[in-house]
A and B are shown apart, each in its own frame.
Chain A
Amino acid sequence: MGYVAAKGGFDAIQAAETLVRRRRIEGRSSWLELDQIVDRLRYSVDRVMGEGGLWDEQLSARAFRQAEGDVIEAAHLIRAHRSTLPRFGYARVVDADEIDVLRRIVPAFREPPGPQLLGRTLDYTGRLLDQTPEDEGRRQAAEAAANRRERVVSTQVSADEPTVDQRVPGRLIDVLRNLDALVDRRRDDDPEPVDISRVAARPGAPRSARLSTMARAETGALVQLWYRNILGPDRNLHEVTLGEVRHGRLPIEVQNPLTGETVPIGSVRVTEVEAIEDLDGVEEDRTRFDVGYGICLGHNERKAIAMANLDVAVDRAAGDGPLEQSVLMTTDGLDASGFLEHLKLPHYVTFRSMMERKTAMREAAGTKRQERLAQGRSDCEVTDVSGDAGAPVEREDVLR
């Protein structure tokens, strides 16, 4: 204890950091390049950007490498980095119809207006472990790289590249609206999206806060919450059909502070989903459908689908039951894992206090028993008294 330990804390941290740095920098293999991570581990990079709430592939790859492949840890690095950055202003609100699709599927119709564009997906690839020998893999990669260079030189567009018309398709929701198959819950009381990095969203928050929260949520947490509502005790989801599943590029524009002109500054890749929910509630318009919306940075269809489903589920629950609070308060990866991991911190001050109350309770029970015995009552009755306290006391079951 005392100062030996005081200095020990610092020494221990430094030792831990040295160990981490040694493996991170030395490793036993060659240095991992950022381009490699962006190019070959793109789902991870996209998740880091989505859960970190920042679009920057190189920076996210850097975080992912530093976190040695731990997505939540990498998202933490990105968010903590965000906290140091000044905010110059806000981008113009972009219309999702401006999306330039790389992939689009509409499960609800065989031939929807616009293309069914399968694009790059794992959905129909056989989930067979690729056991190609390493040398052969390297040879194939080199060959493919050479072919790609040739293709660029000849500016030849391959047959499966979508045309411009195909790449900016109309959306199914408009078709359904024209068929008068949808309830209309478009609202105009939430024009400025809530910035959840600056405002503490709590139940009753506008829909934009809910959507932003889910867009940054941990993918697994959203999937779990979705599944719990399908199969578990919470049954806020009924019969969902996916309308749109899109992966594409959205342009980002800002207003030039001097000229007032709108200037494009780049684009972000997003996954966007519209989920059609079959309304079956007593109070609901059962002759129509409702549509939930999901969008997130990067290519992450699991997340966007869960999000779109939960969006409509929260709306249908209308503040009844815990779903909205669950979505807003329990899906953030950094919150949940940070708090879980904090249990590793020393808790001996609090534990000592808990031990003291256990002793106090035992002593109180002993005193009671003695008092009753002195009054000539049986042990049996005493037990009865302590057990007959009416409703069970709700324990302070929060973690400290």
Chain B
Amino acid sequence: MTLADVLATTGPAPASEVAVELTPILDESAKREIRRAVLTAIAVPGYQVPFGSREMPVARGWGSGGLQISLAVVGDDDVVKVYDQGEDGGVNAANLRRLIRRSEGVKTTTDAREASVIQTRHRVPEDELIADQILVLQVPVPEPLRGIERDMNELRRMHAEADYARMWVSLYEDIVRNGVITRTTGYPCLVDGRYVIATTPIPRWDVPPLHQAKFLSLFGAGREKRIYAIPPYTDVEPLTFDDVPFEVEEVSEPCRCGLICPGDEQGAYLVELPAQDGTSQWVCSDTDWCTRHRVANGVLGSEALDDADELW
């Protein structure tokens, strides 16, 4: 093997026939390593696969894990959506979207229904995702048991032996002490009856759509160097007791688009817009979904949707 061969093997992905000049941010060998970790994660649903997380042009904690997965999985034909807190226009989402575009030359969209790969921080799209769509979740803290154990060797043992007794005890104590399970986002779930995972910090509202989903979920924790996955059609059960129903976030007020969470059949996760006087308005956190509903309700003109196409 010559040096030229090595170069060809390990060099940055060659820019294919794309008009713009690409700025690759991961070399081919790093992509292959991430791909191997992704495959192991799928084969062992819920297991946190260690990988040699590379430094990205974004800081650790700012979606570097999700970004590495997105860069490793997307191809020329993919259409990518990136959003943060449900908002496509969030500054960090805009930045990540730009990086993926410039590195891989893919198309982007804000419409979850049109996207083949969706990178997200803290939300699952309100739209029902379908087979072959890939959801890439940015994970700040991949370890669901860290609240009850800090020692990494012990954590490793607990997962290896599926020893989640202390997790159950802590949930039980929570109820005794507080009357409810006080876990908020990132609710611990049992995947395929085997591994407990942290559901990133998505709200509890977003947990049920992960159960027996048609799509593939990939979780990337760049700073902690872990990747885990929920394959399609896999059981995802929030940890709770038979007589304590799993509770999602309740709101009785409607959004400007008319949606209510969760009583409405087609509800959505709403976030609060507080006013100085203590009153609040509520709006959907999923901005694209909300806009589409407002257009459908005649609150917004259809040009609001056209604007989406101009989203670089």
- Which residues of A come within 8 Å of B, CB atoms? 1-10, 12-13, 76, 79-80, 82-89, 195-200, 202-204, 257-258, 319, 322, 325, 329, 334-335, 337-342, 345-350, 352-357, 360-361, 364-365, 367-368, 386, 389-391, 393-400
Contacts and interface: CB of A to CB of B under 8 A. Distances in A.
B194 interface: no
Given A5-B89, A88-B10, A390-B173, A365 B123 contact: no
Contacts of A367: 179
Contact of B61 (A2, A84, A342, A346): A342
A389 B283 CA distance: 38
A352 B272 contact: yes
A391 B176 CA distance: 11
B55 A76 contact: yes
B180 A3 contact: no
The size class of the interface chain B forms with chain A is 35 or more
B184 A3 contact: no
Given A12-B94, A394-B147, 20 more contacts: A5-B87, A9-B87, A10-B312, A83-B54, A86-B6, A87-B10, A88-B7, A198-B33, A199-B50, A200-B225, A203-B152, A322-B150, A338-B62, A341-B61, A345-B62, A346-B85, A347-B85, A348-B85, A349-B201, A352-B271
A391 B173 contact: yes
Contacts of B182: 357, 360-361
A14 to B, nearest CB: 9
10 contacts: A2-B294, A82-B55, A202-B152, A257-B2, A257-B6, A325-B152, A334-B55, A342-B140, A360-B182, A395-B147
Interface string B53-67: 111110111101000
Interface in B169-209: 170, 173-174, 176-180, 182-186, 201-204
B277 interface: no
Contact of B86 (A204, A349, A368): A349
A364 B179 contact: yes
Contact of B84 (A8, A83, A341, A345): A345
Nearest to B103: A84
B302 to A, nearest CB: 12
Contacts of B91: 9, 12-13
A199 B52 contact: yes
B185 A338 contact: no
A204 B26 CA distance: 29
A79 B55 contact: yes
Interface stretch (B39-47, B72-80, B233-241, B284-292): B284-292
